[in-house]
Chain A
């Protein structure tokens, strides 16, 4: 069983690896030229870096062979040139790498966000808002930083090794072999350290998340924890998470410290070896004494870059995980999509009483659910009429609105709008004909006017004020800035009732064929509710209206009321009719009547 599980995991990882590799290539492809230039500059940097000690040793050799000052000066000038080229290349490559990484981060953010707009509500819910925010922002950030580090710290490592080994062979073949073996041993140490610590790093990420979750839980639930006298349990739980984290962090640190010590040991050994072997080679006339210092420096440079590279490599698994998470979003297939050859929505059904939307034996089931949320729902929505939908929590009433806007597709039957099946038209065209007030009144940061104009860009101030008046949004007149009054994120600087009225006004600004109020009146007090419904009656006399509601009082006057119970229509008619024939409706109405509980006894 255990083995089986591990096997599965392996398969999963390979799969995601190839996927994220594809995303990586896709992200890099617009910047091929820039990548090449960056790598070229990096090469300049490395050659410059290694050429300085080379020339320095040549200078020593020239000095001791007493060839004189002109020679020394020319070596000095060459060193200067190498410094300028090397440092210049380095700085330019860093600049390019920063730009490159930033562009890749940006592209990833935008790509994920763009994709999120294509996903249906259900698809999006599969990821969850919190996770989507992480994928859009911090995952992209990790990838960006890792890219940068790869360019600055990782890419130079192989180049440095190759160039310095070549240079060493140029001095003396034995020295070349020495440097080559150092490179190999260093790489082995590096690989060992990374292999040992990379899995711990991934686990640690999990512990960091756990720490955050546990703490947040503890703080937001402090009343409940204390009410239940669970302070000790909660503290122990937290401490356990802290200990797990610390234990793993220490393990990683120890692995690093050990690798660090091993590298250091090697470095020291090389210092002695180079002098010893070097002296022998000078003694055999194979090389000059000054070259010893160049070789020592090559070895130091190799180790320095290897240690940096090791640090960069450790970031890779995390970045891979982030890439995979982004890939999951980018490769998700939206469950709702526009047709390839969209039809236009007719302008017909312009007179009162004509059918605007028609539910024909509609069934709906969420992809991950066993049972249908809606079952054989059949009714028409007519122009000039109010159609109300009422039912308990979980009865499926909110799904009606989602289907109308085609946030989901019906799984059986059909839903047509102005005579056209909604699956045959473009979603944008469909939604342009609908004024929608969501259950949770959400506003965007900006101004009152900018929010209202989400309903219709071209609306003038007069129309905005009119919509506000109908929506009982008179309070905007009392704001010092009026329509220009600032709105905070989500509309949090307005009360729930005010937000709801602004959301209603936003829908009214749009001249639509159908207005959908998804449980939009619950946040209003009874008085405002009544005034609003009265104003709406005149305002929307020529449109079709769907009101999804909890309160019977809100929908008492509707031309038809659809009563839903566990996804089925159990009643359809006017208030008076339903009061006579529909037991479910009667039960709902009774529970809301004046002193209902008392009478019910």
Chain B
């Protein structure tokens, strides 16, 4: 629940967020757009030219209509009907058409040039992120929830592209249109223009006020939605309990109440968001009415021509649209810059130390002697997670690591595989400091089965062959048989070609675990690591697997982390860990005889 609250708080903040350093972020975005910048330049020039044409047209139409009206009146005075010919207004009409077509060309240019800009830039940043994810140290993933990193590449970049796609040029177009239209209107008639300006100012003010309110309500909506989401997730995950205890009614009532509150808040939020434009339109119409009546009087008095009259109202129309646009886009722009800032923050995260330029080479056949020599490790120096750990695993030995949760068992493995870098001391493989090796070379020597059975979206065969892409179907099946999962796979309709999806519940945790064991078996590594590998299977199946594992563990160094001590009593070396250091070391008999922590643990499990 605490997590959820935090998440909601963040979502809400997202809405209201302003970038810490908008200018810097904008500059970085600009730098990232290398090779695409010409699009922005061309589009901006085209947009400005378009607005210019667009602003000229009403002015020219005033001239045109006045001319036509003069000619019509002249014709009427002669008692003849009037028809447009090339000499009788036709030429001016063609010029008018020309201006419009010019506007169209510029408009199309900016529109088409920008159509792919945002997504191209996004693709570039997304690729940066995927490369970055490969270089981030494991401690980053320990400290950040997957959802956060995912939303950098999806939601945040979507926000950026949305604004770049529409917003950026919209701001330019709106601003130039507004200013240009006002200038022209003032030149037409100061009184009318002043009245209109008052209404524009009122509209701007109204938009700001409503936009502020909207953000508050949107935040509230996010909060209620978060609560409902939590409620539903909880109810679905615990639905067996809900049903077993006959709590259906109570649960439904609770969801109904939350859904009702969400309905109220979201109706308000949606209304506020959408009501801005009709409200602004109302103000514009009011100004139209007042200006219309005044201008009508001027028309009667001959102080205004009919062409100017209608042109003025075209400007009213042109200038009032950007008002709403402007203030909404400014909010969006800020949100997008804040989102881009988060993306850059991810891209700036500290990376793993690069591999040495001339890495040491491991022999063709690795024997698998692993030595920890006074290894120290900690995220921060004042809170060491591991202090002075030393031991030697001889080739072919089975090393068991036991201890409470948080004792440092997994940390030990992470250091061994260089997911973490040691802060002091060193770890050697066959006598070579692992830091002198290329990570890929080092890790190739390990086969790993972890507590959370990670499988990717793909077929079962692909998952088993993950570590060895050239494996034949026979190899895959042999590995599956060895891991006691062949029978199960065969009962599935598509057998080894069954596609595993993340949402699918057709395969149990225990079976997933067996598949990862088959995967490790197929890889045939020099060293095996089993981190609580059999925690999700029952004791008898565990024993089958253990025996199968033992077969391939022959002549291989192996590290086993296990809760159930029954699986590790035969280990050559048992390391008992507590608070980041090894408190006892020896084999089962020695440690039992010693009567220390191990003996205590063992007794508590088999009392």
Contact = CB atoms under 8 A, between A and B. Distances in A.
Contacts of B149: 215, 219
Interface in B110-165: 111-112, 114-116, 118-120, 122-123, 126-127, 130-131, 133-134, 138, 141, 146, 149-150, 153-154, 161, 165
B82 A598 contact: no
A76 B44 CA distance: 40
Given A222-B138, A224-B454, A272-B96, 13 more contacts: A69-B297, A75-B292, A98-B268, A99-B271, A101-B267, A131-B503, A222-B133, A226-B138, A228-B448, A250-B120, A261-B111, A264-B108, A444-B234
Nearest to A95: B271
B123 A393 contact: no
Given A133-B236, A527-B607, A246 B278 contact: no
B296 A137 contact: no
A177 interface: no
Interface in A427-452: 427-428, 431-432, 434, 436, 438, 442-445
A427 B242 CA distance: 13
Contacts of A458: none
B236 A405 contact: no
Nearest to A519: B538
B245 A56 contact: no
Interface in A280-324: 280, 282-285, 289-290, 292-293, 296-297, 300
A219 B153 CA distance: 12
B81 interface: yes
A59 B296 contact: yes
Interface in B194-232: 225, 228-232
B325 interface: no
Interface stretch (B17-25, B60-68, B368-376, B424-432): B60-68
B45 interface: no
A87 B279 contact: yes
Contacts of B467: 228
Nearest to B280: A87
Interface in A69-106: 69, 72-73, 75-76, 79-80, 82-84, 86-87, 90-91, 94-95, 98-99, 101-103, 105-106
A293 B313 contact: yes
A279 B83 CA distance: 7
Interface residues of A, number: 158
A231 B134 contact: yes
A591 B286 CA distance: 88
B263 A113 contact: no
B4 interface: yes
Contacts of B61: 271, 275
Contact of B267 (A102, A211, A213, A234): A102
A296 to B, nearest CB: 8
A420 B504 CA distance: 36
Interface stretch (B335-343, B356-364, B438-446): B438-446
Given A63-B299, A591-B540, A228 B443 contact: yes
A489 B1 contact: yes
B321 to A, nearest CB: 9
Task: Report, as a range, how many residues of chain B touch the other chain.
Answer: 35 or more
Given A272-B93, A284-B81, A393-B537, A63 B296 contact: yes
Contacts of B84: 276, 279-280, 283
A267 to B, nearest CB: 9
Interface stretch (A252-260, A353-361, A374-382, A571-579): A252-260
Contacts of A442: 237-238, 240-241
A598 B539 contact: no
A215 B156 CA distance: 14
B133 A219 contact: yes
B237 A490 contact: yes
Interface in B255-294: 255-256, 259-260, 262-264, 266-268, 270-271, 274-275, 278-279, 281-282, 285-286, 288-290, 292-293
A253 B538 contact: no
Interface of B: 1-2, 4, 57, 61, 64-65, 68-69, 72, 75, 81-84, 89, 93, 96-97, 100-101, 103-104, 107-108, 111-112, 114-116, 118-120, 122-123, 126-127, 130-131, 133-134, 138, 141, 146, 149-150, 153-154, 161, 165, 225, 228-248, 251-252, 255-256, 259-260, 262-264, 266-268, 270-271, 274-275, 278-279, 281-282, 285-286, 288-290, 292-293, 296-297, 299-300, 306, 309-310, 313-314, 317, 417, 419, 439-440, 443-444, 446, 448, 450, 452, 454, 456-457, 466-467, 488, 491, 502-505, 508, 510, 523, 537-543, 546, 566-567, 569-570, 588, 604-607
Contacts, number: 426
A525 to B, nearest CB: 6
A127 B121 CA distance: 37
A421 interface: no
Contact of A76 (B237, B262, B296, B588): B296
A282 B296 contact: no
Contact of A56 (B282, B292, B454, B523): B292
A133 B233 contact: yes
Contacts of A234: 134
B292 A94 contact: no
26 contacts: A79-B288, A79-B289, A87-B285, A91-B279, A98-B267, A101-B270, A113-B255, A117-B239, A117-B243, A133-B229, A208-B154, A213-B502, A215-B149, A222-B141, A224-B466, A226-B417, A229-B440, A231-B134, A246-B120, A264-B107, A271-B57, A392-B538, A436-B241, A436-B244, A489-B234, A526-B606
A163 B247 CA distance: 55
B114 to A, nearest CB: 8
B130 A238 contact: yes
A144 B265 CA distance: 13
Shortest beta-carbon contacts, A-B, top 5: A283-B82, A87-B282, A76-B293, A83-B285, A268-B100
A110 B252 CA distance: 8
Main secondary structure of the interface of B (DSSP, over half): helix
A392 B541 contact: yes
Interface in A223-262: 223-224, 226-232, 234-235, 238-239, 242-243, 245-246, 249-250, 253-254, 256-258, 260-261
A510 interface: yes
A530 interface: yes
Chain A CB count within 10 A is highest, among B104, B296, B452, for B296
Given A249-B119, A254-B112, A488 B255 contact: no
A218 interface: yes
Contacts of B288: 52, 56, 79, 83
Interface string A126-144: 0011111100110000001
A7 interface: no
Contact of A124 (B75, B239, B309, B502): B239
A382 B247 CA distance: 27
A285 B134 CA distance: 77
A486 B235 CA distance: 17
B72 to A, nearest CB: 5
A62 interface: yes
A45 interface: yes
A43 B356 CA distance: 74
Nearest to B118: A253
Contacts of A539: none
Given A95-B271, A261-B107, A489-B234, A87 B281 contact: yes
Contact of A63 (B248, B300, B503, B546): B300
A114 interface: yes
